[in-house]
Amino acid sequence: MKKTKIILLVLTGLLIGSTIAYYRIHQWNGKDTTIENGCWKGQNLAEIGTNQLLTARIAVATLYALNPSEVIYLVANEDTKGEELNSKNDYVIKGIPMDSRYWSITLYSEDYFLVPNEADKFSYNLHNVSYESDSSFIINISSLKKEHNWLPSGKEGKFYLTIRMYHPQEHVYKNIESIQLPTIEKVKE
Amino acid sequence: MNMTVKSLLILILSALVGYYLIIYLTPRYILLKIKFNSGSKMNVPVYSDVITDTDRHIVMPNPDFLYVASGYNLWKGPILISGEMPDSTYSSVALYSDNTMNYYIRNDRQTPEKKFNFILTRNKEDKTKYSNEEVIVSPSAMGTILTRILINKPENIDQLKEVQRSVKIEELNK
């Protein structure tokens, strides 16, 4: 076989392999997630370091995540009906306090950074959310100002929501796929 | 082996090398990019202000936290990491290897004295050398130290910033 043909084959192979790797890292659609509860999805982060693909994905999307013994991360890119979250719509998050030392719900743009907004409001947590009389909470996601628990979604298009639960109770770990997590309902198109 | 099979084998093997190379290099490339873009020095802590949308070095930042971040480099020898933790809110110090794996975490509940002081090294023998200190052996020569302090109440922020500033890194072989 000619040397130039071998070089061409090697370069083509490298290009194909690296392109597949790039897309497997960046086009993470959540289909192979290991934790699923309604519209919330998560990964077993204990595998970081041993599962190289997951390590690369986490580095791109959730850099500096902590071990599951410390915090549980769950991400939603769809509402409860399975439709993609988008800032052109309004949504309502309804939930009850999550059984952990500290929890928060944060809104990120498609590039995984915080969304610029006039209120400089990016998240709600157990300390600063306003509760209903029955101790539940309702958070309003909208690009336009809302009076009650407004979480601005900006005007950037697709967005993600992330739940963080620090030091969750033992039963949360055991029943992560069945515990009651907040719902995300589209209320206005 | 005929030429077609040989060509196919070369193509598949090269594709596999390309695939695993990108997966291996991605976390390391991202860390280097962050360090380059932030302009921060190794083994020098950077104290964040309250996180907003203008903070665009690290993806998915938590706006409820004050951070102290530093890249570490152990080629010249071990480093001493010390600092305080607040009384009333969550805090932790975490270590990440060069592939972003979180291999060490200590939180405020595990630190009743609300102070931490440990040596980070590559050399297992330093456990004997510094037998009176807590010594942690890093799986890689370079990595990241990240301290988190939860802002539980906005009125506590000045007090929490003082705690944040107590985090120090000292090169022991200087």
Pair (B60, B120) in one structural domain: yes
ipTM score: 0.83
Pair (A63, A7) in one structural domain: no
**What pLDDT, on the 0 to 100 scale, is given for residue A35?**
83
Pair (B106, B132) in one structural domain: yes
Backbone angles phi, psi at B57, to 5 degrees: -90, -45
Pair (B86, B164) in one structural domain: yes
Residue in B closest to A105 by C-alpha: B62
Query: What CATH number has the domain bearing residue A152?
Result: 2.60.120.600
CA B21/CA B74 separation, integer angstroms:
25
**What pLDDT, on the 0 to 100 scale, is given for residue A55?**
82
Pair (B94, B159) in one structural domain: yes
Torsion of CA A55, A58, A60, A65, to 10 degrees: -120
Pair (A25, A49) in one structural domain: no
Q: If you count residue pairs, one on A and one on B, with CB atoms under 8 Å apart, how many are there? A: 171
Pair (B166, B92) in one structural domain: yes
CA B71/CA B140 separation, integer angstroms:
12
Pair (A108, A180) in one structural domain: yes
**What pLDDT, on the 0 to 100 scale, is given for residue B3?**
80
Taking the mean position of all CA atoms in its chain, how far away is CA B19?
Answer: 26
Distance between B126 CA and the closest CA of chain A, angstroms? 24
Torsion of CA B47, B51, B52, B57, to 10 degrees: 60
Pair (A86, A170) in one structural domain: yes
Structural contact between residues A40 and A165, judged by C-beta atoms closer than 8 angstroms: no
Residues in chain A with CB shorter than 8 Å from the CB of B109 are 167
Pair (B82, B121) in one structural domain: yes
pLDDT along chain A (189 residues), means of 10: 89 94 76 81 73 81 82 93 95 96 95 92 96 96 94 90 95 91 91
Name the token pair of A99. 């059984």
Q: How many domains does chain B have?
A: 2
Structural contact between residues A61 and A30, judged by C-beta atoms closer than 8 angstroms: no
Q: How many domains does chain A have?
A: 2
Pair (B32, B93) in one structural domain: no
In tens, the pLDDT along B89-116 reads: 999 999 998 888 889 999 999 999 999 9
Q: Do A69 and B18 touch (CB under 8 A)?
A: no
**What pLDDT, on the 0 to 100 scale, is given for residue A65?**
85
CA B43/CA B142 separation, integer angstroms:
10
Distances (CA, A) of B113 to A165, A188, B52, B104, B161: 25, 51, 32, 19, 19
Rounded to 5°, the CA angle B113-B118-B122 comes to 160
Pair (A101, A115) in one structural domain: yes
Pair (A24, A39) in one structural domain: no
Q: Do B103 and A49 touch (CB under 8 A)?
A: yes
Q: Do B58 and A63 touch (CB under 8 A)?
A: yes
Pair (A49, A66) in one structural domain: yes
Name the token pair of B96. 């990440």
Structural contact between residues B66 and B50, judged by C-beta atoms closer than 8 angstroms: yes
What residue has token string 């860390």? B31
Pair (A72, A126) in one structural domain: yes
Q: Domain range for residue A152?
A: 34-188
Structural contact between residues B100 and A64, judged by C-beta atoms closer than 8 angstroms: yes
Pair (B16, B50) in one structural domain: no
Pair (B6, B54) in one structural domain: no
Q: Which of A164, A148, A149 is nearest to A98 (CA)?
A: A164
Q: What is the DSSP string of A37-59?
A: ETTEEE--GGGTTTSHHHHHHHH
Pair (B78, B118) in one structural domain: yes
Q: Domain range for residue B71?
A: 46-171
Q: Do B14 and A10 touch (CB under 8 A)?
A: yes
Determine which of B101, B108, B111, B147 to mutate to test the interface with A (most A C-beta atoms within 10 Å): B101
Question: Residues 67..126 of A with a Cβ closer than 8 Å to B: which?
Answer: 67, 69-70, 101-102, 104, 106, 108, 111-117, 120, 122-123, 125
Q: Is B70 on the interface with A (CB under 8 A)?
A: no
Q: Which residues of B44-55 are buried (b: 16+ CB within 10 A; e: fewer)?
A: ebeebeebebee
**What pLDDT, on the 0 to 100 scale, is given for residue A59?**
78
Pair (B58, B4) in one structural domain: no
Pair (A82, A171) in one structural domain: yes
Pair (A79, A146) in one structural domain: yes
Q: Reduced to 3 states, what is the DSSP secondary structure of residue B47? A: strand
**What pLDDT, on the 0 to 100 scale, is given for residue A167?**
96
Query: What CATH number has the domain bearing residue B60?
Result: 2.60.40.1610
Pair (A23, A89) in one structural domain: no
Pair (B22, B64) in one structural domain: no
**Selected residue with higher pLDDT from B83 and A61:** B83
Instruction: Classify residue A157 by its DSSP letter.
Output: S
Q: Is A1 on the interface with B (CB under 8 A)?
A: yes
**What pLDDT, on the 0 to 100 scale, is given for residue A122?**
96
- Say what angle helices A3-26 and A52-61 make with each other, to 10 degrees: 60
In tens, the pLDDT along B14-73 reads: 999 999 999 999 888 887 777 777 667 889 999 999 999 888 877 889 999 999 999 999
- Say what angle helices B3-38 and A52-61 make with each other, to 10 degrees: 40
Pair (A50, A23) in one structural domain: no
Q: Do A17 and B97 touch (CB under 8 A)?
A: no
